[in-house]
Amino acid sequence: MEFVSITDQEVELYKERFNLELGWYMSVCPMKVIENDKEIALIDCSEGMYGDDSIQIEQFEVFEKKHGWGSKIINQAIQDLSDYRIFVYVNDSNSKAFWIKKGFKPVDDGTGTEIYCYGCN
Ligand SMILES: CC(C)(COP(=O)(O)OP(=O)(O)OC[C@H]1O[C@@H](n2cnc3c(N)ncnc32)[C@H](O)[C@@H]1OP(=O)(O)O)[C@@H](O)C(=O)NCCC(=O)NCCS
């Protein structure tokens, strides 16, 4: 699995081509995810918001939902980022089930707002 940086213009093209649900505005470091030459998702992450060992998933969307791609990508990220705590704000109540299944737990982000975390005890 490969994570390849893309430009904001490319993000716009993927948004249109795959009719993406998320806004994909003001991406920090957008990447496309490729598995066996197939483009499967976009992900945008930032580092350090909650300490040096933290990564925040800003946006994440698979092109084909409910085909196991999201699970595969997050499993890979958890493995690659084993020294990090991974954070994600989950605004859509539907996708909470997904993050919980991946082992993320709701924690307070310090302002009373819920954020999901992998690797926080
Ligand atoms: C949320 C998202 C990334 C999940 O990826 P996916 O490829 O569709 O999920 P998977 O097929 O890998 O599913 C993994 C598990 O999570 C569950 N799941 C996935 N999406 C779900 C949803 N919306 N509601 C409930 N359960 C869900 C699946 O049923 C599956 O459970 P199982 O392992 O018991 O079979 C994807 O649906 C998506 O891109 N959604 C739109 C954007 C979004 O909400 N992004 C996340 C916020 S940043």
- What are the structural domain ranges in the chain? 2-85
Task: Identify whether the C-beta of residue 85 lies closer than 8 Å to the C-beta of residue 54.
Answer: yes
pLDDT (tens digit per residue) in 28-63:
999 999 999 999 999 999 999 999 999 999 999 999
pLDDT attached to residue 52: 95
Superfamily of domain 2-85: Gcn5-related N-acetyltransferase (GNAT) (3.40.630.30)
- Mean of all residue pLDDT scores within the chain: 96
Confidence of residue 104 (pLDDT cuts 50, 70, 90): very high
Q: Which of 98, 101, 114 to mutate to test the pocket of ligand 1 (most atoms within 8 A of CB)?
A: 98
pLDDT over 90 (residue 91) = no
Angle, helices 93-101 vs 69-80, to 10°: value is 50
Ligand 1 centroid, distance to 67 Cα (angstroms): 9
CA angle 24, 30, 35 (to 5 degrees): 110
Ligand 1 centroid, distance to 66 Cα (angstroms): 6
